[in-house]
Amino acid sequence: MINTYFATVARGLEEIAAKELEFLGATMVKPDFTGVYFQGNKELLYRVNLWSRIIFRVLVPLQTIKSYNSEQLSKNIKKIDWSKYLQTQQTFAVNCTGKNDNLNHTHFTALQIKNAIVEQQQERLNTRSNIDTKNPDIIINAHIKNDNCTISLDSSGDSLHRRGYRPAMGLAPLKETLAAALLEMADWQPNLPFLDPMCGSGILAIEAAMKGLNIAPGLYRNKFSFQNWLDFEPAIYDRIVSEAKKQQLTQLKSPIFASDKERGIIEQARSNVTACGLDQDIKLSQINLDKIEAPTSEGIIICNPPYGKRVGNNQELGALYKLLGDTLKQKFKGWTAYILTGNKELSKQIGLRTARRIKVYNGSLLCTLLKYELY
Ligand SMILES: C[S@@+](CC[C@H](N)C(=O)[O-])C[C@H]1O[C@@H](n2cnc3c(N)ncnc32)[C@H](O)[C@@H]1O
């Protein structure tokens, strides 16, 4: 059976996510604001959760109901037969986004929906599900827009950017989904060496290695929410998991390097690299930028130096950006570099000709990914 799905994604990554979904086999792919609609069968739903590097979660829309105010919302929630999706021995949580004039507090709207669901269970079955906001079996997503509320099941559970491997966070870590998207924006292909000379928690190098070794990021997770659904088909899921394991490569085509000036930070990066079994694949070292040498004659650099809003202060940072520009120019001829920064003034200190500027949101911060051809 073909269903319509909605993949949620960080602002600005809709088009890249749409390409990834098409690559995974989705049809009728339609990017929207912070999400992408697509169609496919149950197997595709499982595959997208297991393989996507870019999206946060996949929602399965059930119904759009009228929700002018809380009374209408409750009445219409109770018209849905919840026994099809939630058993009374299962726990659940309701997440709500959006608002209208009467339903203008997402927390309260979620509570209204939760109450209506358990009232239906009490009336029909004389017992009810418990709420678990931390680790629920079933997650219901409600999105209010004007007088409508779209009710969906969340198939992913924990956001897919939490790959399940990262205990150590560095100073200002990128989300794994953003790191994977930056690799796509830079058009990094596994046959090119990769270097992040300011690697922090090592996320960019780890995402590059996972892509280079064709590792499905979902393999690091314990569970997806769809595994608790009544219609879950373990045979399909087990097959795509074992196919994913078989498709994994044992060796990278080109080396992946990551370094940082701080010993403690490199130790954190190492613990992350170890947690995902990539010790043999990522060459980590503690090096200050002023001592770094190009490890190969060509390759792609992607890095995000501190940009003042979260880490560091502007005067010192100006000197750091200048050092970065000088280092790239003098030592990395033949390479292409991408620098993500949220500070235009600092980026001027790099002093190199920009080949391309790509707008990127890092959380809510509008940043630019600057491309430099080094020759
Ligand atoms: C914003 S963080 C990078 C975060 C990283 N992308 C992540 O996802 O965890 C910037 C990093 O640059 C490093 N750094 C600052 N100055 C440096 C220098 N002179 N040489 C090498 N690394 C430096 C810091 O130690 C910090 O870990």
Per-position DSSP letters for 269-301, written without gaps between them: HHHHHHHTT-TTTEEEEE--GGG---SSSSEEE
Q: Is the pLDDT of residue 111 over 70?
A: yes
Report how far ligand 1's centroid is from the alpha carbon of 340 (Å).
Answer: 12
- Answer with the residue of higher pLDDT: 50 or 166: 50
For a pocket test of ligand 1, which of 171, 310, 346 has the largest count of ligand atoms closer than 8 A to its C-beta?
171
Is 369 exposed, middle or buried, given 0-12, 13-18 or 19+ CB atoms closer than 10 A?
Answer: buried
Is the alpha carbon torsion for 330, 333, 335, 338 positive or negative? positive
- ∠ at Cα 135 (134, 137), nearest 5°? 140
For a pocket test of ligand 1, which of 177, 260, 291, 360 has the largest count of ligand atoms closer than 8 A to its C-beta?
260
* Per-residue pLDDT tens over the stretch 180-235: 999 999 999 999 999 999 999 999 999 999 999 999 999 999 899 999 999 999 99
Q: What is the mean pLDDT of residues 225-247?
A: 98
Q: Is 173 in the pocket of ligand 1 (CB under 6 A)?
A: yes
Q: Distance of alpha carbon 243 from its chain centroid, rounded?
A: 23
Q: Where are the beta strands (DSSP E) in the chain?
A: 3-8, 27-32, 35-40, 57-66, 92-97, 138-145, 148-154, 194-196, 256-260, 282-286, 299-303, 335-341, 356-362, 365-373
Between CA 181 and CA 161 the distance in angstroms is 11
**Structure tokens that stand for 322 in this block:** 């200048």
SS3 94: strand
Q: Is 289 in the pocket of ligand 1 (CB under 6 A)?
A: yes
Task: Determine the pLDDT at residue 43.
Answer: 98
Q: Is 168 in the pocket of ligand 1 (CB under 6 A)?
A: no
Is 102 exposed, middle or buried, given 0-12, 13-18 or 19+ CB atoms closer than 10 A?
Answer: middle
Task: Determine the pLDDT at residue 310.
Answer: 52
**Structure tokens that stand for 203 in this block:** 């996320």
Task: Determine the pLDDT at residue 37.
Answer: 98
Q: Is the pLDDT of residue 306 over 80?
A: yes
Q: Which residue CA neighbors atom 3 of ligand 1 most closely?
A: 200
Q: Is 157 in the pocket of ligand 1 (CB under 6 A)?
A: no
Q: Is the pLDDT of residue 171 over 70?
A: no
Termini Cα distance of the chain: 53
Q: Is 67 in the pocket of ligand 1 (CB under 6 A)?
A: no
The length of the chain in residues reads 375
Q: Is the pLDDT of residue 358 over 60?
A: yes
pTM here is 0.95
- Of 140, 151, 138, 157, the C-alpha closest to 90 is 138
Q: Which residue CA neighbors atom 5 of ligand 1 most closely?
A: 200
Indicate the average pLDDT of the chain: 95
Scan for tokens 């049809």, then name that residue: 27
Percent of the chain with pLDDT over 70: 97
Domains of the chain and CATH, by start: 3-154 (3.30.2130.30), 176-215+251-373 (3.40.50.150)
Q: Which residue CA neighbors atom 1 of ligand 1 most closely?
A: 306
Q: What is the mean pLDDT of residues 4-13?
A: 97
Task: Please check whether residue 303 is in contact with residue 258, taking contact to mean a CB–CB distance below 8 angstroms.
Answer: no
Report how far ligand 1's centroid is from the alpha carbon of 305 (Å).
Answer: 5
Q: Is the pLDDT of residue 65 over 70?
A: yes
Report how far ligand 1's centroid is from the alpha carbon of 304 (Å).
Answer: 7
Q: Which residue CA neighbors atom 4 of ligand 1 most closely?
A: 200
Q: Ligand 1, closest atom to CA 287?
A: 21
- Of 159, 200, 155, 188, the C-alpha closest to 301 is 188
Task: Please check whether residue 183 is in contact with residue 211, taking contact to mean a CB–CB distance below 8 angstroms.
Answer: yes
Between CA 370 and CA 350 the distance in angstroms is 10
Q: Is 326 in the pocket of ligand 1 (CB under 6 A)?
A: no
Bridge partner list, 356: 371
